[in-house]
Structure 1
Amino acid sequence: MSAEQGNPGATVSGVVAIIRLRESEPDDAIAAALLDGGVGVMEVTLPTPGALGAIRRWSAHPGVLVGAGTVRTVTDADAAIAAGARFLVTPTTVPDVLGVARAAGVPVMCGALTPTEIDLAWRHGATAVKVFPVSAVGGAAYLRAVREPLDDVPLLPTGGVGLADLASYARMGCVGAGVGGALVSADLVAGRRWTAVTERAGAFASAWREGLVRRDA
């Protein structure tokens, strides 16, 4: 999904950086560091202190496509959309949240794990389905098995995704991959190690591109 595109489910083609912090508000330097490394799609989870403020600021940043994560209620969805979130990410499938987003024209990536959950999320109107927590159930091998009967559903593997996983997910046709602590860790943020964030972003973006090349070869 490029930062210029506003429909994640239809056009995702890369890394979604997940910003999930417990004790500090997201520094604007995080967005700049990610963008410098070639990652322009960012999900700020709502339990992160100051999440709505970060979404509001980053949504005005050229080249950044920012959304809200851990959206569980209509109240969450309304607040995130009002703050300028360009997409919503949910841990589960909540029809009321999908309804609010649909009315606002905002894409939603619903969380699901089993084939039944994935299919139900898609049928309820999810733009793409976040397969979570993918690493806990076998990673790429699990996703490959799921895609066999559900090859029309756009999938976004999330949860424990590491650098070594990216090429495989790109090759098998996933619309993107959500990457959290392996990309933006609390330690890097606390130490203001923005160069390290940029380097990690570059490595993840390159791994995704490598997978796409192999897929097309």
Structure 2
Amino acid sequence: MDATVLDRIAALRIVPVVVVDGADEGARLADALMAGGLPVAEITLRLPNALAALRAVAAEQPDVLVGAGTVLTAAQVDEVVDAGARFVVSPGTFEPVIRRAQERDVPILPGVATASDVMRALDLGVRTVKLFPASVAGGPAAIKALSAPFPQVRFMPTGGVNAANLHDYLDLPSVIAAGGSWMVERPLVTAGDWAEISRRAAEAVALAAPTTED
């Protein structure tokens, strides 16, 4: 399961990092992403009804690869997996979260910002991590530097990734995908501007396509 989910993420190259509140927002956002050709979403646990949104996407839009972000505790791992999350993303490398995700047989992408974080992740059996916050942690230069001593590690940078710098990350061999929110900004969701989200998603898919040099 782990390899299959991560392979799908690598094929899509972008993971929208979503802040939604409630089942209706979640379902409508998933439909908008599908319409834009981007069938993946990391629903962050930042709003009170994020779990309801995750549950709605998992139930009503099974073609969307839905995961949970901002997972901070082992108990939250159980909550999001029970709600239908296919992968788990955490802002840090926290052993209880990683162990519980492994016990639940769900891919976990823990956040790393330093070489020590990467070493902890490797010690816990994790080979794919989230550089977070990417722009603050050194951006593409940090990934290049960390890839030298850790050639077996793959990265999903998140935090400060946007349309302008997307390929600075995606063109690195050790990057499987990038997480970003520019196509699913919270004001677009609250305004119900699903057409604009679909347009931005389609634009992001085209932008993320491998260049001829890749």
**When the two structures are superposed, what TM-score results if normalisation uses the length of structure 2?**
0.88
Q: Give a deviation string over 1:91-114, Cα, whole Å, max 9, x none.
A: 111212222111211000000111
Match of 1:41 in 2: 40
**Pick aligned residue for 1:8 from 6, 9, 15:** 6
1:183 is paired with a residue of what secondary structure? helix
Number of aligned residues: 207
Match of 1:204 in 2: 204
- CA distance in 1 between partners of 2:66 and 2:195 (Å): 21
2:136 is paired with a residue of what secondary structure? helix
Q: Which amino acid aligns with 2:132?
A: F
Cα distance change on mapping 1:10 and 1:152 into 2, 3 Å: farther
Structure 2 segments unaligned to the other structure (5+ residues): none
Q: Does 1:54 align with 2:74?
A: no
RMSD: 1.9
Equivalent residues of 1:163, 1:203 under 8 A apart: no
- CA distance in 2 between partners of 1:9 and 1:109 (Å): 13
Identity of aligned residues (%): 34
- CA distance in 1 between partners of 2:127 and 2:84 (Å): 18
Equivalent residues of 2:17, 2:184 under 8 A apart: yes
Within 5 A, what are the aligned runs for 1:4-153? Answer: 6-8=4-6, 12-13=10-11, 14-21=13-20, 24-25=21-22, 26-60=25-59, 61-153=61-153
Match of 1:154 in 2: 154
Q: Which amino acid aligns with 1:135?
A: S
Q: Which amino acid aligns with 1:179?
A: G
Where in structure 1 do 4 or more consecutive aligned residues deviate above 4 Å?
none
Match of 1:171 in 2: 171
Cα distance change on mapping 1:111 and 1:137 into 2, 3 Å: closer
- CA distance in 1 between partners of 2:126 and 2:7 (Å): 8
